[in-house]
Amino acid sequence: MQAGLESLGIAVPPTYVELAELARARGVAPGKYVDGLGVTRMAVPLVEEDTVTLAARAARMAMEAAGCTAEDVGMLVVGTETAVDHSKPVSSYVQGLLGLSTRCRVFETKHACYGGTAALLLAMDWVRSGSAKGKKALIICSDIARYGVGTPGEPTQGAGAVALLVSDKPKLLAFEAGKTGAYAKDVMDFWRPLYSKDAVVDGHYSVQCYLDALEGAYRAYQEAAEDAGGEGAYSDRFAALVYHVPYGKMSRKAHRHVRTLDGDKEPDASFDRLVGPSLVLPSQVGNIYTGSMYLALASLLSCSREELTGKRVGLFSYGSGSCAEFFSAVVQPEAQARVKALGLENLLEKRRALSIPEYEAIMAAREKLDDKPAEETPGEGFRYQGTRDHKRIYAR
């Protein structure tokens, strides 16, 4: 049985910071953030937004795009590393906000940025095995990426969610069964202790860990695909490569590494063709942890000028700590038109720029949000309002 993505949905905060402006405020040359890291804008969530509200908004877009009702969903998993509770999963809040059926399997997965991929691959097997019995799985990757004001990681923050509707009727991508290569290794490259809202990171070491994992997963994929041999670079078997994007430059480093492994003497030459379109949206949002690779996938389908129908896309998901997977999927007819119709570029254009003092005030306010007394907040859609009797309260 086929399994894949029937639709997707994206949620980003309505506000962002221009990285050139952040660089000037930090006494850094703007070229370092914009060209050196490859990020133009960084999404900054308002105080009434959290991992739950972003997840619910993304899910609503994915469900509406597919005409999917609450009763159609048989499994809801949220992959996140910035959950709002040590016990109750983000997915339960989302189930409530979306009014999903009580006959739904609902849970959360965590493994840094890989958590959503773990859930996606599991859902794929659930569909293929027949256990889904025609139901769909809603997999949501939702995070608020924080390293803190003034740290080297600051320009690589971001926030957002990507919802993936998985079923036996893939209208966007059909994933290739058995064609996955995993790589896992216990490393301390990036972590977030229980007492902290901000991630701790050994930045340059994390880049090396990412590249080591990419090499391991890419080799494992090649063995699993059992299609060794053939002319030219192995990665030319893909019409596009989508890498986990903590920042755009990391994708360039990743691609250079893959092409070097392929024996390509000019490893950068294929970058614009194979990777460029996947970075258009991420460069406007920043790192969204679990959702980063899927935002890059949405960017590819929305922004590529090449006709991709029937072509294979390679995907590389990396989660610090670490676990990584290289897998592949085939683009379905009209997938590009369907994703374009979501108007994602327009969605990003409509956001409002924050001044650096506004951004810093939001960062400080987030520290105290988890036990803020609940109050009515103006606005539309899903909003976090604070807590009452230690319970998080959301406006629908």
Contact present, 3 and 35 (Cβ < 8 Å): no
Q: Which two tokens stand for residue 262?
A: 């392929």
80-81-82 Cα angle (round to 5): 95
Q: By CB under 6 A, tell whether 51 contacts ligand HMG.
A: no
- Is 147 labelled as part of a ligand binding site? yes
Q: How many residues bind ligand HMG (CB under 6 A)?
A: 30
Give the position of tokens 């460029």: 276
Q: Which two tokens stand for residue 306?
A: 């090449």
Q: Which stretch binds ligand HMG (CB under 6 A): 69-77, 102-110, 316-324, 357-365?
A: 316-324
Residues 256-285 as x/- pattern, contact with ligand HMG by CB under 6 A: ------------------------------
Q: Which stretch binds ligand HMG (CB under 6 A): 47-55, 272-280, 312-320, 334-342?
A: 312-320
Contact present, 120 and 6 (Cβ < 8 Å): no
Q: By CB under 6 A, tell whether 210 contacts ligand HMG.
A: yes
Q: How far is the CB of 155 from ligand HMG (least distance, A)?
A: 6
Q: How far is the CB of 396 from ligand HMG (least distance, A)?
A: 29
Q: By CB under 6 A, tell whether 112 contacts ligand HMG.
A: yes
- Is 88 labelled as part of a ligand binding site? no
Q: Which stretch binds ligand HMG (CB under 6 A): 68-76, 203-211, 347-355, 370-378?
A: 203-211
Q: Which stretch binds ligand HMG (CB under 6 A): 34-42, 158-166, 351-359, 362-370?
A: 34-42
Nearer to ligand HMG, 363 or 374 (CB): 363
Q: By CB under 6 A, tell whether 35 contacts ligand HMG.
A: yes
Q: By CB under 6 A, tell whether 60 contacts ligand HMG.
A: no
Q: By CB under 6 A, tell whether 40 contacts ligand HMG.
A: no
Binder of ligand HMG out of 13, 291, 319, 386 (CB under 6 A)? 319
| 141-180: contacts with ligand HMG (CB under 6 A) | 152-153, 156
Q: How far is the CB of 318 from ligand HMG (least distance, A)?
A: 5
So which residues are the catalytic ones? Answer: 81, 113, 244
* Binding residue numbers: 147, 253, 287
